[in-house]
C-alpha cells in the first residue's frame, strides 16, 4: 500500500534560483579582479616606462679616484697664546692693545699680596734657619774641643802613670820599695788607659751626633731654600712677559681689575706666520691626518697648504683642522680673512669610476640601472670609496657601461625600465 505524501512536497525552483544567481555574479567579479590584477601587476612590480630626457646617464670609466673634503675657514696666526695669571690679585697692564713687542718685554703685572706676604715670611724663616745652623756649628766645634781636651788630659795622665810605674819597678828591683807599690802603679796605668779610651769614645759619639744634627739642619735649610725659590719663581711669574716678537691683542680684563688665579689677561699674536683654521665635518675626522696636502682659496687666489694638526675634540659635529701655508705667495694676508679649503684625503689610481648619484643608495643595498638600448636593467653592484663627485665600483659593472645616475623616483619592485624618446 502506498502512502500519499503530496502534502509534504515543496517546490525547489523557488529557493535555488537566487542562490545560483549570487554564485554566478561572484564568479564574474573574481574573474574581473583577476583580469585587472594581471593587467596592473606588471606595471607595479616588474617594468616601468620613463622618458629618457628625465634621467641623467653617465659612463663607467677607469681613472683615478680623488677623495677630498671641502670646508670653510679663516686666516689665523700660527702662534697666538693667551697669557694667564698664576695667582689672584690686581692686574696692571704695562702696554696697550695693538702695540708691537719684543720677546721678554713686560706686558702686565699682577699684584698678589697673599703671595708676596708668603714669600717675605718664608724668606724670614730661611734667614732664621741659616743663623741657627751657624750657631749650631759654633756649639758643635766647642763641644768637640772639650772632648778633645779631655782626651789630651787622659793621654797626659796615662804617660804620667806609665812613668810612675817605671820608677816603682826600678826602685822595687833594688829593694827600695815593696811590691805593693809596683802593683798600685800598674793599676793606675790601667785606669789611665781606660779613661783615655772612654774620652776617645766620647769624642767619636759626639762627632757622630753632631754630624746627624748638621745633616738634619742642612736638609731643613735646603728644603726652605727650595720653598723660597719656588715662591720667588711664582712671584716673578706675576710679571707677564712676551713669549716672542709679536702684537698685543685686546685686554681680557680692565686695568687694575681684580682677577682670579688662572684667568686670561691678554693674547700675543705672531703675524709673521699665518695658517688656516678650518671647520671640517666630523664624518671626515678619521680620514684627516697631518701632512695631507690642501688647496686654499682666499680673495680669488689659490694657495698651497698642508694639514698641520687636527683637534681631538668634536664641537657642533665639526673638528678643527689647522692648515699651514707652504708657498710664499701668501704674503699680505690678514688675520680672520675668510678662506675656502680643500684637503686631499686620498688618491686611488686605475679604478672603475662612475658619477656619484642617489640611485646607488636605495633600500640599504647598492645597485645600478644599466642602460642597454631603450631599456635599463636593475643590476646589483658593490661600491668602494667615494669622493664628492664619483664613486669607486668594485664589482657588477665594467668600463663603458652606461648607468642612470639621477632622475629616478621611487623604483621599489621595478626590475626593468623602458626608456622612451
Domain locations along the chain: 46-64+348-420, 113-236
Weakest mean pLDDT among 5-14, 45-54, 139-148, 373-382: 5-14
DSSP bridge partners of 65: 348
CA–CA distance, 230 with 237 (Å, rounded to integer) = 10
pLDDT band, residue 330 (cuts 50/70/90): low
CA–CA distance, 252 with 195 (Å, rounded to integer) = 79
8 A C-beta contact, residue 310 and residue 281 = no
Residue 210 pLDDT greater than 50, yes or no: yes
Weakest mean pLDDT among 12-21, 152-161, 200-209, 267-276: 12-21
Whole-number pLDDT of residue 40: 44
8 A C-beta contact, residue 36 and residue 399 = no
Whole-number pLDDT of residue 3: 41
What mean pLDDT is predicted for residues 325-344?
A: 82
Distances (CA, A) of 124 to 38, 128, 249: 107, 6, 40
Residue 407 pLDDT greater than 70, yes or no: yes
What percent of the chain has a predicted confidence (pLDDT) above 70? 86
What mean pLDDT is predicted for residues 126-130?
A: 93
Whole-number pLDDT of residue 331: 66
Mapping DSSP to helix (H, G, I), strand (E, B) and coil, where does residue 381 land?
coil
Residue 28 pLDDT greater than 50, yes or no: no
> Mean pLDDT, the chain, as a whole number?
85
pLDDT band, residue 101 (cuts 50/70/90): very high
CA–CA distance, 421 with 8 (Å, rounded to integer) = 77
Whole-number pLDDT of residue 13: 41
CA–CA distance, 30 with 389 (Å, rounded to integer) = 52
Cell of 63: 681613472
Q: What is the pLDDT of residues 384-405, one digit of tens each?
A: 888 878 899 999 999 999 999 8
8 A C-beta contact, residue 342 and residue 302 = no
8 A C-beta contact, residue 283 and residue 319 = no
Residue 410 pLDDT greater than 80, yes or no: no
Whole-number pLDDT of residue 300: 85
Whether the predicted model's global pTM rises above the 0.85 cut:
no
CA–centroid distance for 177 within its chain: 101
Considering only the top CATH level, what class is 46-64+348-420? mainly beta
Amino acid at each position: 500500500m502506498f502512502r500519499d505524501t503530496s502534502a509534504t512536497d515543496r517546490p525547489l525552483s523557488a529557493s535555488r534560483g537566487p542562490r545560483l544567481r549570487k554564485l554566478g555574479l561572484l564568479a564574474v567579479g573574481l574573474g574581473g579582479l583577476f583580469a585587472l590584477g594581471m593587467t596592473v601587476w606588471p606595471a607595479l612590480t616588474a617594468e616601468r616606462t620613463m622618458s629618457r630626457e628625465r634621467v641623467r646617464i653617465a659612463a663607467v670609466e677607469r681613472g683615478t679616484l680623488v677623495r677630498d673634503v671641502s670646508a670653510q675657514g679663516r686666516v689665523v696666526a700660527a702662534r697666538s697664546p693667551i697669557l694667564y695669571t698664576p695667582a689672584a690679585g690686581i692686574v696692571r697692564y704695562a702696554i696697550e692693545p695693538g702695540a708691537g713687542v719684543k720677546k721678554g718685554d713686560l706686558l702686565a703685572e699682577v699684584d698678589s699680596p697673599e703671595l708676596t706676604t708668603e714669600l717675605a715670611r718664608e724668606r724670614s724663616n730661611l734667614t732664621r734657619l741659616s743663623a741657627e745652623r751657624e750657631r749650631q756649628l759654633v756649639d758643635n766645634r766647642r763641644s768637640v774641643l772639650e772632648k778633645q781636651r779631655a782626651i789630651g788630659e787622659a793621654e797626659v795622665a796615662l804617660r804620667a802613670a806609665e812613668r810612675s810605674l817605671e820608677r816603682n819597678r826600678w826602685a822595687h828591683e833594688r829593694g827600695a820599695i815593696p811590691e805593693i807599690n809596683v802593683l798600685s802603679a800598674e793599676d793606675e796605668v790601667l785606669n789611665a788607659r781606660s779613661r783615655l779610651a772612654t774620652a776617645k769614645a766620647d769624642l767619636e759619639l759626639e762627632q757622630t751626633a753632631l754630624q746627624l744634627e748638621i745633616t738634619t739642619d742642612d736638609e731643613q735649610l735646603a728644603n726652605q731654600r727650595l720653598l723660597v725659590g719656588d715662591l720667588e719663581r711664582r712671584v716673578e711669574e706675576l710679571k707677564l712677559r712676551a713669549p716672542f716678537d709679536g702684537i698685543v691683542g685686546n685686554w681680557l680684563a680692565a686695568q687694575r681689575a681684580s682677577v682670579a688665579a688662572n684667568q686670561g689677561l691678554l693674547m700675543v699674536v705672531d703675524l709673521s706666520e699665518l695658517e688656516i683654521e678650518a671647520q671640517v665635518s666630523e664624518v671626515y675626522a678619521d680620514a684627516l691626518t697631518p701632512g695631507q696636502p690642501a688647496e686654499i682659496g682666499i680673495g680669488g687666489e689659490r694657495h698651497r697648504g698642508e694639514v698641520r694638526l687636527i683637534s681631538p675634540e668634536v664641537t657642533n659635529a665639526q673638528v678643527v683642522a689647522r692648515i699651514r701655508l707652504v708657498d710664499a705667495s701668501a704674503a699680505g694676508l690678514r688675520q680672520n680673512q675668510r678662506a675656502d679649503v680643500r684637503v686631499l684625503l686620498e688618491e686611488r689610481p686605475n679604478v672603475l669610476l662612475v658619477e656619484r648619484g642617489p640611485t646607488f643608495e636605495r633600500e640599504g643595498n647598492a645597485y645600478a640601472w644599466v642602460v642597454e638600448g631603450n631599456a635599463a636593467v636593475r643590476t646589483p653592484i658593490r661600491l668602494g670609496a667615494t669622493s664628492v663627485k664619483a664613486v669607486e665600483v668594485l664589482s657588477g659593472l665594467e668600463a663603458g657601461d652606461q648607468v642612470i645616475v639621477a632622475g629616478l623616483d621611487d623604483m621599489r619592485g621595478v626590475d626593468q625600465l623602458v626608456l622612451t624618446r
